[in-house]
Amino acid sequence: MGHEQLAADVGNANPADQRRTQLLDGLNEHQIEAVTAPAGRTVVLAGAGSGKTRVLTRRVAWRILADQTDPARVLVLTFTRKAANELRQRQFRLGLRDAVPAGTFHSFALTQLRERWAERRTVPPAILDGKIRLLAQIGARTADTDLLDVAGEVEWARARLVEPDRYDEAAKAAGRAAVGEPGFIADIMVRYQREKRRKRVVDFDDLLYLAIRDLQADPDYAEAVRWRHRHFYVDEFQDVNPLQHKLLDLWLGDRHDLFVVGDPRQAIYGWNGSDPALLDRAANSADAVINLDMNYRSTEGILAASAAALGPDVAPLVAYRGHGQNPTVTAHPSDVDEAQAVASALVHDKGMGRSWPEMAVLVRTNAQLAVIERELSAAGVPSRLRSGPGPLGSPETKAKLKELSRPGIDLRSQLEQLDAYLDEQSEAGQDSAASANAERLNNLGALSRLIHDYLAVELNPTGAGLAAWIQTLHAGDVDGDDPAVDLATFHGSKGLEWPIVHLAGVEVGFVPIAYARTEMQLREERRLLYVAMTRAADELHLHWSQTRTFGTKVVDRQPSPWLNAMDFGSAAERPRRSRQAVWKRHVEQSRRHLGDPPIGRQSMSDVVGAPLSDDDLYRQLRSWRDTKARAAGVPGRVILDDATLRALARVRPTSTAQLAVVADLRPAKLSRLAPELLEQLATAGEATGGSDR
């Protein structure tokens, strides 16, 4: 039934009917079908960018305005407080004065438990903020295990309703990386539950378990709860885990008023216990299944490439917008070159009229963000982390930095010990073991690399100096609502969108992640790449590095095998954005600001009075750089990378101010390298009979 027919049927008899008609404004045929579907079990399979939140909120409003539901009897279930707040705000904007309850599974379970405890005059137990401290107290940390790994396995088992005596079998079947000896996690699960009871505390998983226990133990109480909550709406149903699903079933009882929205292509939390098969099961038993396959966010080219990431037989979503610009893929010599190229592209787009918040850089792991943050800061690009604290804010790197800041610490000795530990773990294959451990090792590797950089430019290194130097790397970071480029992991980007998106590190080891081995894990990695790609509205740019540095090791890398199936069109469709070109534009802008004539190829001799060719000067600068690097015992790019040297050879700055713009050097590094660099540039002119201006 079309919008016009529905409007005619509803008529203009009263304001409520008019408001119902207005709810359908701007919706397509499938969205209208979802909003107006009869009461019953309805499953909406909503593709990325298909307007699922709009459909969900208007569905709630439609039924309330039609007097089909009592707002106080509605329960809208989400997975984050942020999503719940957004749903409530949208309901208010739709004109619903009565508050519609919206929250997470855990928040509603806690509300149920508090009322039950008050009814029984029971003193509520304390709620743990996390499992780590208690797990440490019962001996979960050993020489072969880490508390974060243990906590992850306990949470996964609880989410999947796996009892201790079945853990080893279930973990093996799911392809979970072994944590400890067989039976270790099962024993920890038993001791952990026993210690919680002894201390009379509960964790967040217990909230769901206890709510389930109360409903199962008392049929009269369960019926009272079901009388209060009669109409259920669940967002992001593909992320539901078996524990949450069991509680939902008990809340529903024998009723069928359930409306769920989900996307099987965006099921990316299987590692954490969610079960996308529950969405398939819901669809198989539903009264109605409605597909929202019109994407309003991304261009056709982006949608075609993202569908190809899922596999050759996956059809792309229908693009409401035109074809747009094809996605691009670029190989870079190193991860530093990759980060610099991304920074230059962001600066270019800013100069073309885009704002910083319209752009994002997405990565598979937090550890990748260290080099990207550094190069963005060097390029003057403000950035904001959208998915956690980043590698330098992780517990392991914060602990290591605190240790290194103690008086009397020998940084070089400590760095040698850290590098030896990382090498040992890498040789033992720990870099591809459990995800939490691999992430920690990568974070420590990022810290090691930064310490090497610091020691290369600091004559008198100290722990306090290292901490201060690292702070300068985040000079471009912003807080609050200040304009900034967003940095996020693939997981952290879910639910967000930007006009321009750069995916860094689209290579084997990250995409797919090294520890993904089973077919189920690899399928989830494909979906994760799909989620990241579909965050882009106008432009999508994928990058990978031919070499990447982990701690002190430079490792050869290969592009993700999933890139082969994607259509990136012609490289000519997007102008080349060389870092040198961006630097040159910056230099010219700076010189105009200073009242100097622009630097160009024809006026180069006027600037430095030197006929030495760019290539010869580049080779001379590189020889100086390599000599300095050998003396410091670090790779040459730690001093200055080749792209910077080529830019210097092309532009030939003659002052510290110009050098800062051309080389994008941080203040500390600039103050140490400027005298030698300017001397090298001046000497090059003198060697050929030129005169430095």
- Residue where a domain terminates, one of 199, 221, 250: 199
DSSP structure class, residue 684: H
Which 3-state string (H, E, C) describes 609-657? CCCCCHHHHHHHHHHHHHHHHHHHCCCHHHHCCHHHHHHHHHHCCCCHH
As a whole number of angstroms, the distance between CA 470 and CA 486 comes to: 20
Residue 279 lies inside a defined structural domain of this protein: yes
For the four alpha carbons of 149, 365, 80 and 69, in that order, the dihedral sign comes to negative
Q: What is the extent of the structural domain holding 629?
A: 579-687
Confirm if 13 and 259 have CB atoms less than 8 A apart: no
Cα separations in angstroms, 278 against 72, 75, 647: 27, 19, 56
* pLDDT of 290: 96
Pair (453, 602) in one structural domain: no
Asked if the structure places residue 539 within a domain, the reply is yes
Instruction: Check whether residue 545 and residue 465 sit in a common domain.
Output: yes
Task: Spell out where 18-150 has E strands.
Answer: 41-46, 74-78, 102-104, 126-127
Instruction: Report the distance separating Cα 597 and Cα 432, nearest Å.
Output: 54
pLDDT score at 341: 95
Decide: 505 and 545 in contact? Cβ < 8 Å: yes
Question: For residue 397, what pLDDT is reported?
Answer: 77
**CA torsion through residues 416, 421, 423, 424, sign:** positive
Segment 18-31 shows an average pLDDT of 86
Q: Which residue has the higher pLDDT, 210 or 518?
A: 210
Same domain? For 548 and 675 the reply is no
Cα R_g (the chain), whole angstroms: 29
Confidence at 666, pLDDT banded by 50, 70, 90: low
Residues 58 and 82 reside in one and the same domain? yes
Cα–chain-centroid distance for residue 50? 21
Q: DSSP state, 539?
A: E
Tokens of 432: 């591809």
Q: Does residue 283 share a domain with residue 423?
A: no
Domain count, the chain: 4
Q: What is the pLDDT of residues 101-156, one digit of tens each?
A: 788 898 889 989 999 998 999 888 998 878 888 999 998 888 778 888 899 899 99
In a domain, 567, yes or no: no
pLDDT for 166 equals 96
Is 357 domain-assigned?
yes
Name which residue leads in pLDDT, 376 or 387. Answer: 376
Instruction: State pLDDT tens for residues 323-365.
Output: 888 999 999 999 999 999 999 999 999 999 999 999 999 999 8
Same domain for 235 and 277, yes or no, is yes
Ramachandran class of 241: left when φ > 0, alpha when ψ lies in -120 to 50, beta otherwise: beta
CATH code, domain carrying 437: 3.40.50.300
Contact 232, 14 (CB under 8 A): no
Distance of CA 293 to the CA centre of its chain: 25
Q: Is 321 exposed, middle or buried (0-12, 13-18, 19+ CB in 10 A)?
A: middle
* Highest mean pLDDT out of 254-258, 295-299, 460-464: 295-299
User: Comparing 156-165, 199-208, 650-659, which segment has the lowest mean pLDDT?
Assistant: 650-659
- The mean pLDDT of the chain is 81
- The answer to the question of residue 305 being in a domain is no
Cβ atoms 692, 686 nearer than 8 A: yes
Mean per-residue pLDDT, 473-482: 55
Given pLDDT bands bounded at 50, 70 and 90, which one contains residue 692?
A: very low
Claim to verify: residue 498 and residue 548 sit in the same structural domain = yes
**End-to-end CA gap in the chain:** 78
Q: Which of 177, 199, 221 is the last residue of a domain?
A: 199
Query: Is residue 247 domain-shared with residue 282, that is, in the same domain?
Result: yes
Domain match, 245 and 107 both: yes
Question: In this prediction, what percent of the chain has a pLDDT beyond 70?
Answer: 79
What is the token pair recorded at 470? 């690292």
Query: What is the per-residue pLDDT across 409-432, written as a single tens digit (0 to 9) for each?
Result: 788 888 878 877 777 666 555 444
Same domain, 547 and 627: no
Angle at which helices 435-457 and 667-687 pack, to 10 degrees?
50
Which CATH number is 663's domain given? 1.10.150.80
Tell me, yes or no, whether 319 lies in a domain: no
Domain identity same for 396 and 494: yes
Residue 563 lies in a domain: no
Which of these ranges, 223-227, 298-302, 623-627, 650-654, has the smallest mean pLDDT?
650-654
Residues 169 and 286 in one domain: no
CA distances from residue 235 to 316, 535, 609 in whole angstroms, order as listed = 22, 18, 67
The segment with the largest mean pLDDT, out of 106-110, 496-500, 657-661, is 496-500
Question: Would the pLDDT of 581 be above 80?
Answer: no
What local confidence, expressed as pLDDT, does residue 576 receive?
39
Q: Which residues contact 598 (CB under 8 A, 6 or more apart)?
A: 588, 591, 592
Contact 30, 293 (CB under 8 A): yes
Q: Is the pLDDT of residue 212 over 60?
A: yes
In a domain, 540, yes or no: yes
Where is the domain boundary, 199, 218, 245?
199
pLDDT of 616 strictly over 70: yes
